[in-house]
Amino acid sequence: MAAIYSCLLFTFGCMVPKQVNVLLPAEFTVREPIKKLALGARTRSSGNEWNSWNGLFGSNDWTDQYGIKEAIKGLQGALDKTPRFEAVLLDSSFGEARRQSFPEPIRWNVVEHICRENGAQALIVLEIFDVDTRTIRRTREVLATDFEGNPITVPELELEEFVTVSIGWRMYDPAQKEIADEVILLDEESFLGKGYRETEARYNLPDPSEMVRRTAYEGGLSYGGRISPTWATVKRRYYGKHKEEQMMEIAGMQAEAGNWKDAAQKWKKIIYSTEDQTLAGKAAYNMAVASEIEGSLEAAKAWAEKSKDEFRNKKARSYLEVLEQRIKDEALIRKQLPEGQ
């Protein structure tokens, strides 16, 4: 009973979690000759099409200005981590950002000049920025102590602030003289503040401008994921043990230590030597996970199919669907990345 409890405590149904880094395809495919991107933004300051970034904080609406700058930083951060693009942050802005609809496009002679000066093949501009907030109030009873140290129950107020940013992006392709991409993306983050009074709960929330900055940064990351393959961390699970099968447990410990090659050898031996169909199904499932981690998706798919069809492992069905989607994603990524990357 203690062994079963231990298994449930540290794993999920005796399956061990493993984090895996995978490359996800971009939602929007940028044509291959475009490698270097110039990044800029319209701000809340009025003026000509080419204004200094020094005017970024000149508006009374400082919260939006901070948010706009953080969104661009988020996009730059996303592109810096991708193998697809190189990004350069412009020391200029392009007139005033709108809150709902896109403004008139930037003139092509301006776009061409910026790209030429920065060695870029395309220009990305943040042109819409809007913020919306909503608050959820909850009250719950919590334990506290009175002035004499006696335990008492008091009401605690919990404020959850939801911040939503709407960001409109345009990608200008000067060689084609076309707006290659135009999209408005929504990102929402939540922030929690607790206190015995509303003033205390609000005090324990981040500053409003900080909440906007954090949410806007995530908005920049989102657009980076839209136009470029990006790395993401996903979770896989494998069987760490099976009843009294010692080899399965040893292989599980080797996998946990990162020694997938030796673990796979033991799982293979189990598959071809055991008469226990359940055990063989678990070992075949683990072989699929090991193959994916080692970068062989087709082998992973074959092992998952074997686990599902030959040994009737129910969990293999959903994992097989994940692998089939990954194979499709890999084919798309090959089209989105230049050769040699």
Residue 253 has pLDDT above 80, yes or no: yes
pLDDT, mean over the chain: 87
Separation between Cα atoms, residue 250 and residue 265, nearest integer Å = 11
Residue 336 has pLDDT above 60, yes or no: yes
The domain made up of 36-229 has a fold known as Double Stranded RNA Binding Domain (3.30.160)
pLDDT of residue 125: 96
Angle between helices 277-293 and 246-256 (to 10 degrees): 20
Residue 53 has pLDDT above 70, yes or no: no
Token pair for 79:
């592109």
**3-class SS at 44?**
coil
Angle at 128 between CA 126 and CA 130, to 5 degrees: 125
Q: Could you tell me which residues are beta bridge partners of residue 51?
A: 93
Q: How far is CA 1 from the centre of its chain?
A: 39
Global pTM reads 0.76
Residue 302 has pLDDT above 80, yes or no: yes
Q: How confident is the model at residue 18 (pLDDT cuts 50, 70, 90)?
A: very high
The domain made up of 2-20+233-336 has a fold known as 1.25.40
Q: What does the domain layout of the chain look like in residue ranges?
A: 2-20+233-336, 36-229
- Beta carbons of 281 and 311 less than 8 angstroms apart: yes
Nearest one of 77, 73, 69 to 53, comparing CA atoms: 69
Separation between Cα atoms, residue 137 and residue 217, nearest integer Å = 26
Q: pLDDT, tens digit, for every residue of 164-212?
A: 999 999 999 999 999 999 999 999 999 999 998 999 999 999 999 999 9
Token pair for 54:
């020094």
pLDDT of residue 12: 42
- CA Rg, the chain, in Å? 27
Nearest one of 244, 262, 240 to 252, comparing CA atoms: 240
Angle between helices 260-273 and 277-293 (to 10 degrees): 150
